[in-house]
Structure 1
């Protein structure tokens, strides 16, 4: 397949070539609104019950998404309003460097936090003794601090000559150079893409392991049916339900991030192995990466535990009520004979009941 012609003017363009600030403004508003609402929900939940390690990690993820949104979106809007590219805003390319750093940094931090959430669920379900004895909220704070530190040091490398941040069309984007000519820059791109890919694979494997252990727990619960164990099983069922709620939330957040970040990983590998140039694909992959901080909070809001719990209870009640009605109809079909016009169902039933031999009033 023939490669697209390379647009050499994009990295040095001083004005915005095309586009409209409307889309960027909508994305910025949706990101801020979603993250703020998610933080409010988390605060309400924290006041009702002590925050768990999982909630600490979720809160860190929402705050990270909010910081990422405020780090890049206002610059895009400013570029459109002033009709100046990120490089055109200042002479020393500081704005472009900041934008590229923020995009790279927050994409890595977000996935690292998702991985830590998956590991936390895996330890909670698969290794409960170790989880109760060794892990606490303090471990969560330490993990978040280490994630931020490691990702910050890695993303500084392009400023030191290992990797490069460049501007992309229409002049409102800066990210790592997807088509580098220097070998060290290519190595940086491969390390970055490999880190994302490894974290994605580990997150998926942890979630699969959690699903497996939850299925085993459910089988064990059904295997014991004594009276005492039934009472304990009821508590265990609530525990399983809570774990399922966490798993559903984590699973959909992981799916959202995989959809947003995997195209970028694939694009980096294609550029390195096949040397295929596609600036359209570069722009699409960058748009997807920037959309993840907007999607995450809305996934949390929609799949926050009260919502799936209410839906699940409604489904269970509907499923239970239908068999009960069918069972009654099969036992007493005469009770459900159609009533004549003008007669109520209760009156019709009374007439049928009085007409049955051996009943009072017959």
Structure 2
């Protein structure tokens, strides 16, 4: 079966579509990231900046960078009826678009993995965390993620991997159905990096959930340890961080997994021609829009009020049960 994208690879005009979807995505993405940054700044002024706060801010800034890197080019392409290749003769616009898509997808997941590792160290290994981990580690780790992502995603400019244009001429990304062996190797490494980071993030979150459950059991068994635990960091705050990280991870998995699956399917079965669908690219570009709104919703007062009411009702029920269990004893002593 011939690839449906072959007619758009060298096209210099837009072959259809509407700019309204891209305009809405761009507006929602910018608005969400700006609101998220404002909330982070308000939180920074109220509380000392933590390592987790540094990583969340880096993630929001990365999403904002991704929105401004690709969406204006799509809108310009529609308005001028010129594809990304048709905007200039040396393919720089298409190369920039494809590099931004691959680079920011890796960096976003890399920062999510850093957040998961930070939670895993903070909850599972608190002594090591307090002794060795500082805010400066976060800045250095984010810089390293950016550097590694930039070096790897620049490889197609040197012939290892290939950037191509996708229909309707407003998208450029790596060739997901290459014929050359070096391009297939680049695709496998790229997809394997995404999949490995997803698996490691999920495992770290699972470990955090396990350690939080152990902390709850210790609290129930020994009520006197509450003050010591609160002196370090409250369990409710850890649960808020885990909830935010968990939903952001779920959003990225939903947005990126279709792309990973298609790259694996096309690369491993390269003898059969596949249809290059733009749907995985659309889902991948939706992640910078979803992330800030997940943060806004989960950091708003409404979820906290609901959580506080649940905790209060749980505590009141436990208190009633304790009173009822002691009531027969009080009757016998009278």
Name the counterpart of 2:239: 244
Partners in 2 of 1:151 and 1:85 — Cα distance?
Answer: 26
Q: Does 2:265 align with 1:270?
A: yes
Q: Does 2:275 align with 1:279?
A: yes
Whether contact under 8 Å (1:246, 1:305) holds in the other structure is: no
- How far is 1:266 from its partner? 0.6
Structure with max Cα Rg = 1
More off after superposition, 238-247 vs 121-130: 238-247
Name the counterpart of 1:86: 84
Whether contact under 8 Å (2:176, 2:266) holds in the other structure is: yes
Partners in 2 of 1:55 and 1:47 — Cα distance?
Answer: 12
Whether contact under 8 Å (2:255, 2:283) holds in the other structure is: yes
Partners in 1 of 2:193 and 2:249 — Cα distance?
Answer: 15
Partners in 1 of 2:108 and 2:279 — Cα distance?
Answer: 19
- How far is 1:237 from its partner? 11
Partners in 1 of 2:153 and 2:127 — Cα distance?
Answer: 37
Partners in 1 of 2:301 and 2:147 — Cα distance?
Answer: 34
Name the counterpart of 1:41: 39
RMSD: 2.3
User: Residue deviations 1:141-168, cap 9 Å, x none?
Assistant: 0001101111000011000000011000
- How far is 1:314 from its partner? 2.5
User: Residue deviations 1:150-190, cap 9 Å, x none?
Assistant: 10000110000000110000000000001111110110000
Residues 170-189 of structure 1 mapped to structure 2, 5 A cutoff: 170-189=168-187
Match of 2:209 among 211, 225, 233: 211
Residues 60-71 of structure 1 mapped to structure 2, 5 A cutoff: 60-71=58-69
Whether contact under 8 Å (1:54, 1:117) holds in the other structure is: yes
Name the counterpart of 1:199: 197
Partners in 1 of 2:295 and 2:115 — Cα distance?
Answer: 14
Match of 2:222 among 217, 221, 224: 224
Structure 1 97/269 Cα, relative in aligned 2: closer, same or farther at 3 Å? same
User: Residue deviations 1:107-166, cap 9 Å, x none?
Assistant: 000000000000000000011011001101100000011011110000110000000110
> Where does the alignment leave 5 or more consecutive residues of structure 1 unmatched?
326-362
User: Residue deviations 1:224-267, cap 9 Å, x none?
Assistant: 14xxx165278379711110000000000000000011111110
Partners in 2 of 1:219 and 1:211 — Cα distance?
Answer: 12
Name the counterpart of 1:58: 56
Match of 1:301 among 291, 296, 299: 296
Name the counterpart of 1:291: 286
Whether contact under 8 Å (2:219, 2:226) holds in the other structure is: no
The normalised TM-score by structure 1 is 0.84
SS at 1:97 equivalent: helix
> Where does the alignment leave 5 or more consecutive residues of structure 2 unmatched?
321-334
Whether contact under 8 Å (2:15, 2:168) holds in the other structure is: yes
Which structure has more relative contact order (CA 8 Å, sep 6+)? It is: 2
Work out the number of aligned pairs and report it. Answer: 322
Whether contact under 8 Å (2:5, 2:166) holds in the other structure is: no
Name the counterpart of 2:126: 128
- How far is 1:80 from its partner? 0.3
Name the counterpart of 2:310: 315
SS at 2:234 equivalent: helix
Structure 1 212/62 Cα, relative in aligned 2: closer, same or farther at 3 Å? same
User: Residue deviations 1:85-115, cap 9 Å, x none?
Assistant: 0000000000000000000000000000000
Partners in 2 of 1:151 and 1:8 — Cα distance?
Answer: 28
Whether contact under 8 Å (1:6, 1:277) holds in the other structure is: no
Name the counterpart of 1:256: 251
SS at 2:278 equivalent: helix
